[in-house]
């Protein structure tokens, strides 16, 4: 039996302050005109109304992570040997993400299969993952760019969350979904609210009824793959793209990185920073050869990875959660929904043609 | 569809058979957004739209289309980019057909979002000197002059400086009345310490996506930019405001005296960082030192592209 509590809107800030002693709390707040996930600070307020421009992914995959620090020393006498000292820097400390949306929480499970799966276990990632608690806010409306419902999610989906908040008048019903969530709800800030469970359920049902009935992007992986060598199609699709990568940096499911050594004198650090497949350097090889030389190749990868390659490797789960951030923040308004729909259409047409 | 747009379509239809592609705009995923349209067929042409909501500077695509016959829909400010590209021999005049339109201002989407308190926008209707925005909470009527791009307030070229065809349908005067305070004005009134704090605060949220760079029509070394070169490793990849600001300084210096202040860098930034101000500040120095403004005359040479033994306004010998 899961626990339910009621959190008054005005109690959120005090609760997060209380949590700040034990956790680094990340919450959506304004930064200039932009809403981003940032370290909670009562002075910045919390923005529960808008979908943040940046996703909550930095809780698990920070834009810049130090993998280790190093220091080189040379012996004073010949033969001048160089020795390197390494200092590992595993992330420590608990993190609480407050106000993730259902799409954000689901996206984290997309990372899990890659960074904490059977084939590879990334110690930095798993350390952060084990120390992270996700408090998700069910959406009370879909933005015009939202399409979680078309990629296997929904505006009230609880997948990947430790606590789900359902907005009611004057506050939120908080329901624990995991042990981590149960622990959180022990706070005295909350009022007991097992009786409000039904009301929360009704509110979520009402939200689901508002979701338009529209086609889904599930099960298209083979279909999309059949377009792989149709470079003309990808050329046309990527025409307007500036290859900037804003879409991938703001995507809650994009997880690619770069590794560099940043030396200052005889010491330095090896860091892992966000990288993205829309950038021409992404596949640039040491020889100078680039297997994805044009933006068409890169767009094919971005869409292919999310809607075809990843689902083929991971039980048909799409690597897009439909948050729409890549659409609303793209400087040329590139719409991934259109691109996928066109690709499916094109692939269908090609198949029919083959049967003629 | 406005009469203006109709005429534009007619003009392009006449020229289309002689061109490989025509760059224009169409509506984006909602009426507040716009996306570039690459016209190759009559059918594409039917999607063309133009007006104050279509703000992107299409000239950014021209260098990548070098060698092909390209038509382009161009406002006054965009024509300055074309001139600069011609000056730098990044495009060839004989291959470009310019469809000029007169402009009475381009809407700053961020300013609109601010004005409607961030409510979700459902639709937008531009109507002369006002725009009506319908959101999930209701309807707002905004004065056009309150929500324009910064560059529109100081614009002196509503009509393209060069063009091959011109759509003259609008007689509307330049709308801007009193310009709101720009970032540059605000920075001017700050002490150096405050200025530093200003950039530190803004750069903190920079995600180093380089949209500012890739959207810039004059940033021509995108694919081999110093910001990402591995060897030599010019720039520390750490995500500190210091390193991020370093890149902005590089972009500003590399475009000093070339930048036409088209504002694409700032428009493209997904984090709403006012990166244009740095370039404006440098351009102001260029104007002062060399009495030069980028993109005004295809025959002239940008001042930092040439060497004079004695600059008129730099009195290094006298100072000695
Ligand atoms: S944000 Fe838009 S322009 Fe930039 S890489 Fe993504 S699709 Fe291309
Ligand atoms: S691809 Fe776009 S819509 Fe899908 S999860 Fe990423 S940012 Fe969201
Ligand atoms: S995509 Fe769905 S879950 Fe994400 S913000 Fe939109 S409605 Fe909510
Ligand atoms: S630096 Fe900015 S304003 Fe200047 S030309 Fe480039 S995009 Fe336009
Ligand atoms: S576009 Fe904005 S967020 Fe991206 S690198 Fe430039 S300043 Fe930073």
Q: Report the DSSP pairing between strands A191-192 and B21-27.
A: unpaired
Cis bond leading into A79, ω under 30°? yes
Please state the atom number of ligand 5 nearest to the C-alpha of residue B213: 6
pLDDT in tens, B246-298: 999 999 999 999 999 999 999 999 999 999 999 999 999 999 999 999 999 99
**CA-wise closest residue to A16 among A44, A36, A35, A52:** A44
Please state the atom number of ligand 5 nearest to the C-alpha of residue B208: 5
**pLDDT at residue A106, rounded to an integer:** 97
CB-based burial label for B31 (10 Å; 0-12, 13-18, 19+): middle
pLDDT exceeds cutoff 90 at A13: yes
Interface residue B222 vs chain A (CB under 8 A): yes
Mutate to test the pocket of ligand 3, among A52, A144, A148 (most ligand atoms within 8 A of CB): A148
Please state the atom number of ligand 4 nearest to the C-alpha of residue B216: 7
Q: What ranges do the domains of chain A cover?
A: 4-355
The rounded Cα A253 to chain-centroid distance in angstroms is 4
The two structure tokens encoding residue B206: 């920079």
Size of interface A-B (CB pairs under 8 A): 119
Residues linked to residue A72 through DSSP beta bridges, in sequence order: A84
Interface residue B117 vs chain A (CB under 8 A): no
pLDDT exceeds cutoff 90 at A75: no
B263 CA from centroid of ligand 4 (Å): 5
Mean pLDDT along residues A255-277: 94
Looking up tokens 């709101």, which residue turns up?
B180
Task: Answer yes or no: do B209 and A249 touch at CB < 8 A.
Answer: yes
Please state the atom number of ligand 2 nearest to the C-alpha of residue A322: 3
Interface residue A242 vs chain B (CB under 8 A): yes
A116 CA from centroid of ligand 1 (Å): 29
Interface residue A33 vs chain B (CB under 8 A): yes
A180 CA from centroid of ligand 4 (Å): 49
Say which of B30, B38, B205 has its CB closest to residue A34. B205
Give the span between the Cα atoms of A80 and A78, in whole angstroms.
5
Say which of B56, B118, B228 has its CB closest to residue A50. B118
The two structure tokens encoding residue B183: 């970032």
Please state the atom number of ligand 2 nearest to the C-alpha of residue A251: 7
Cis bond leading into A335, ω under 30°? no
**CA-wise closest residue to B169 among B131, B141, B128:** B128
CA distances from A44 to A27, A37, A40 (A): 10, 11, 8
**CA-wise closest residue to B108 among B32, B185, B13, B21:** B32
The length of chain A is 356
Nearest chain B Cα distance for residue A165, angstroms: 21
The length of chain B is 320
pLDDT exceeds cutoff 80 at A322: yes
pLDDT exceeds cutoff 90 at A91: yes
Collect the ranges in chain B with pLDDT lower than 70.
169-177, 319-320
Give the span between the Cα atoms of A173 and A9, in whole angstroms.
10
Q: Are B226 and B248 in contact (CB under 8 A)?
A: no
The mean pLDDT value of chain A amounts to: 93
Nearest chain B Cα distance for residue A158, angstroms: 24
Say which of B33, B223, B237 has its CB closest to residue A271. B237
**pLDDT at residue B173, rounded to an integer:** 54
The two structure tokens encoding residue B192: 């150096």
Closest C-alpha to ligand 4, atom 2: B265
Interface residue A273 vs chain B (CB under 8 A): yes
Whole-prediction pTM = 0.94
User: How many CB atoms lie under 10 A from the CB of residue B172?
Assistant: 14
- Within 8 A by CB and 6+ apart from B83, the residues are B161, B162, B295, B296, B297, B298
Helix (H, G, I), strand (E, B) or coil at A202: helix
Pocket-forming residues, ligand 2, beta carbon under 6 Å? A 251-253, 306, 320-326, 336
User: How many CB atoms lie under 10 A from the CB of residue A104?
Assistant: 28
Interface residue A342 vs chain B (CB under 8 A): no
Mutate to test the pocket of ligand 5, among A54, A63, A242, A246 (most ligand atoms within 8 A of CB): A246
**pLDDT at residue A261, rounded to an integer:** 95
CA distances from B204 to A36, A215, B242 (A): 11, 40, 9
Phi, psi angles (nearest 5°) of residue B188? -60, -35
DSSP symbol at A52: P
Looking up tokens 């624990």, which residue turns up?
A176
Q: Are A321 and A252 in contact (CB under 8 A)?
A: yes
CB-CB neighbors (< 8 A) of A332 in chain B = 35-36, 56
CA distances from A147 to A102, A150, B57, B123 (A): 12, 5, 29, 19
Give the span between the Cα atoms of B225 and B213, in whole angstroms.
9
CB-CB neighbors (< 8 A) of B214 in chain A = 242-245
Q: Are A247 and A301 in contact (CB under 8 A)?
A: no
pLDDT in tens, A141-198: 999 999 999 999 999 999 999 999 999 988 999 999 999 999 999 888 888 888 899 9
Interface residue B28 vs chain A (CB under 8 A): yes
Nearest chain A Cα distance for residue B75, angstroms: 18
> Which contacts qualify for B64-67: CB closer than 8 Å, 24 or more apart?
B65/B20, B65/B21, B66/B90, B66/B91, B66/B92, B66/B95, B67/B95
Which residue did the predictor score with more confidence, B153 or A67? Answer: A67
Pocket-forming residues, ligand 3, beta carbon under 6 Å? A 51, 101-103, 139, 142-143, 146, 148, 155, 322-323
Give the span between the Cα atoms of B109 and B102, in whole angstroms.
20
The rounded Cα A207 to chain-centroid distance in angstroms is 23
> Which contacts qualify for A344-353: CB closer than 8 Å, 24 or more apart?
A344/A217, A344/A220, A344/A223, A344/A224, A346/A227, A346/A230, A346/A233, A347/A223, A347/A224, A347/A226, A347/A227, A348/A223, A350/A226, A350/A227, A350/A230, A351/A226
**CA-wise closest residue to A132 among A156, A162, A157:** A162
Task: Answer yes or no: do B205 and A143 touch at CB < 8 A.
Answer: no
pLDDT in tens, A189-246: 888 888 899 999 999 999 999 999 999 999 988 888 899 999 999 999 999 999 999 9
Helix (H, G, I), strand (E, B) or coil at A25: strand
Mutate to test the pocket of ligand 3, among A35, A55, A56, A102 (most ligand atoms within 8 A of CB): A102
A104 CA from centroid of ligand 2 (Å): 10
CB-CB neighbors (< 8 A) of A335 in chain B = 28-29, 35
CB-CB neighbors (< 8 A) of A34 in chain B = 205, 270-272
B225 CA from centroid of ligand 5 (Å): 15
ipTM of the complex: 0.93
pLDDT in tens, A325-336: 999 999 999 999
N-to-C CA span, chain A: 58
B140-158 burial, b at 16+ Cβ within 10 Å, e below that, comes to bebebbbbbbbbbbebebb
A154-178 burial, b at 16+ Cβ within 10 Å, e below that, comes to bbbbbbbbbbbbbbbeebbbbbbbe
Phi-psi region of A135 (alpha: psi -120 to 50; beta: other; left: phi over 0): beta
Q: What ranges do the domains of chain B cover?
A: 1-178, 181-308
Give the span between the Cα atoms of B149 and B109, in whole angstroms.
8
């Amino acid at each position: 039996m899961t626990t339910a509590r009621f959190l008054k809107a005005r109690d959120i800030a005090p609760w997060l302050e209380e949590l700040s002693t034990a956790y680094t709390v990340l919450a959506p707040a304004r930064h200039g005109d932009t809403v981003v996930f940032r370290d909670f600070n009562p002075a910045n307020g919390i923005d529960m109304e808008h979908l943040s421009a940046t996703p909550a992914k930095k809780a698990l995959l920070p834009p810049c992570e130090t993998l280790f620090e190093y220091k080189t020393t040379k012996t004073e006498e010949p033969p001048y040997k160089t020795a390197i000292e390494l200092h590992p820097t595993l992330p420590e400390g608990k993190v609480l993400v407050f106000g993730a949306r259902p799409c954000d929480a689901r996206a984290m499970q997309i990372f899990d299969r890659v960074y904490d799966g059977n084939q590879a276990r990334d110690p930095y990632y798993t350390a952060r993952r084990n120390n992270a608690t996700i408090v998700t806010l069910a959406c009370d409306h879909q933005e015009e760019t939202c399409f979680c419902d078309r990629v296997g999610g929904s505006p009230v989906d609880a997948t990947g969350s430790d606590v789900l908040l359902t907005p009611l008048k004057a506050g939120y019903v908080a329901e624990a979904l995991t042990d981590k969530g149960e622990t959180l709800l022990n706070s005295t800030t909350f009022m007991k609210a097992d009786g409000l469970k039904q009301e929360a359920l009704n509110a979520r049902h009402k939200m689901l009824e508002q979701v338009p009935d529209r086609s889904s992007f599930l099960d298209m992986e083979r279909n999309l793959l059949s377009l792989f060598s149709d470079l003309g199609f990808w050329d046309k699709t990527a025409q307007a793209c500036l290859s900037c990568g804003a879409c991938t940096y703001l995507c809650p499911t994009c997880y690619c990185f770069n590794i560099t050594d940043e030396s200052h004198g005889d010491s330095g650090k090896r860091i892992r920073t966000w990288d993205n497949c829309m950038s021409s350097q992404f596949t640039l090889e040491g020889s100078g050869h680039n297997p994805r030389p044009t933006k068409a190749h890169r767009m094919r990868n971005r869409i292919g990875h999310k809607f075809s390659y990843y689902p083929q490797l991971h039980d048909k789960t799409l690597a897009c959660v439909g948050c729409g951030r890549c659409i609303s923040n793209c400087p040329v308004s590139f719409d991934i929904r259109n691109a996928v729909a066109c690709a499916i259409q094109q692939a269908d047409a090609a198949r029919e043609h083959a049967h003629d | 569809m406005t009469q203006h747009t109709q005429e534009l379509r007619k003009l392009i239809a006449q020229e289309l058979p002689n061109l490989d592609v025509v760059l224009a705009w169409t509506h984006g995923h909602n009426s507040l957004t716009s996306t570039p349209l690459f016209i190759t067929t009559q059918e594409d042409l039917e999607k063309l739209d133009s007006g104050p909501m279509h703000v992107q500077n299409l000239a950014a695509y021209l260098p990548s289309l070098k060698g092909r016959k390209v038509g382009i829909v161009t406002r006054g400010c965009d024509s300055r980019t074309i001139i600069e590209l011609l000056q730098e021999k990044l495009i060839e005049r004989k291959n470009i057909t310019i469809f000029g339109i007169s402009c009475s201002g381009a809407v700053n989407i961020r300013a609109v979002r601010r004005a409607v308190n961030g409510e979700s926008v459902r639709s937008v209707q531009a109507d002369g000197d006002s725009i009506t925005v319908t959101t999930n909470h209701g309807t707002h009527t905004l004065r056009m002059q309150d929500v324009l791009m910064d560059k529109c307030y100081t614009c002196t070229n509503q009509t393209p400086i060069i063009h091959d065809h011109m759509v003259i349908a609008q007689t509307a005067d330049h709308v801007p009345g009193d310009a709101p305070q720009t970032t540059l004005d605000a920075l001017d009134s700050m002490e150096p310490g405050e200025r530093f704090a200003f950039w530190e605060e803004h750069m903190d949220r920079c995600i180093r996506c380089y949209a500012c760079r890739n959207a810039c029509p004059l940033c021509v070394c995108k694919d081999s930019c110093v910001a990402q070169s591995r060897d030599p490793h010019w720039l520390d990849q750490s995500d500190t405001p210091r390193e991020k600001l370093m890149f902005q300084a590089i972009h500003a210096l590399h475009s000093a005296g070339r930048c036409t202040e088209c504002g694409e860098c700032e428009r493209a930034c997904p984090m709403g960082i006012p990166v244009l101000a740095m370039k404006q500040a440098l351009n102001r120095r260029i104007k002062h030192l060399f009495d030069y403004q980028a993109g005004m005359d295809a025959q002239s040479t940008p001042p930092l592209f040439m060497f004079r033994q004695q600059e008129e306004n730099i009195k290094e010998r006298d100072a000695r």
